[in-house]
Amino acid sequence: MDAPHTLLVAPEGGFPNSAFPALLYRSAFPADADAIEQAFADQGWSNAWRDGIFTYHHFHSTAHEVLGVAAGEVQVMLGGPSGQTTLLRAGDALVIPAGVGHCNMGQSSNLLVIGAYPNGDDYDIRLGNRAELQEAKRAITAARFPARDPVPDATFLHALWKARTA
């Protein structure tokens, strides 16, 4: 298993982002929705959904999120309206820490994404409202740390994220 690409974004306006980097695993899965969802569940990431990615900037303050691309491709902007964009293709997985803004900036017509959360945690949707920033930061601090990496046989999440808490 190759190490994931790390994507670190600084706070921007009402988007707190995170000291933890987003983790991009290239070609982590077959382009198969059932296989991706089952792999996530086997790793303790559940409360899954199948759809696309919202076309507006948002973040989750109560849970970390993993996105697995089962079909197509999508340009995802991380960090808020001035963030950085990365292309996700079928088979890729992106772990997004709580607080990190993300937005679909364009997609293929056949896009299918599987999303899931560690421990099956519930998630909220926040839009970067500055008036909610302190409340969001408190929720992010309380978000449970994932027990395992969502990608089978990978152990990078703990190593890369725990280094940021030391």
Specify whether the CB–CB gap between 79 and 101 falls below 8 A. yes
Strands 102-107 and 45-51, by their bridges, are unpaired
126 class by beta-carbon count within 10 Å (0-12 exposed, 13-18 middle, 19+ buried)? buried
Q: Where are the beta strands (DSSP E) in the chain?
A: 5-7, 22-25, 45-51, 65-71, 73-78, 84-89, 93-96, 102-107, 112-118
Strands 65-71 and 45-51, by their bridges, are unpaired
Sheet holding 65-71, edge to edge: 5-7, 22-25, 93-96, 65-71, 112-118, 45-51
Q: What is the mean pLDDT of the chain?
A: 96
Partners of residue 65 on adjacent β-strands:
96
CATH number attached to the domain at 5-151: 2.60.120.10
> What is the percent of the chain with per-residue pLDDT over 70, rounded to a whole number?
98
pTM recorded for the entire structure: 0.97
Does 139 have pLDDT greater than 70? yes
Q: Label residue 164 by pLDDT band (50, 70, 90).
A: low
Return the domain boundaries, the chain. Answer: 5-151
Segment 119-137, tens digit of pLDDT = 999 999 999 999 999 999 9
What is the model's pLDDT at position 149? 96
What is the model's pLDDT at position 1? 74
H runs (alpha helix) in 44-151: 133-142
Specify whether the CB–CB gap between 36 and 29 falls below 8 A. yes
Does 61 have pLDDT greater than 90? yes
What is the model's pLDDT at position 162? 80
pLDDT, average across residues 92-97: 98
pLDDT, average across residues 88-105: 98
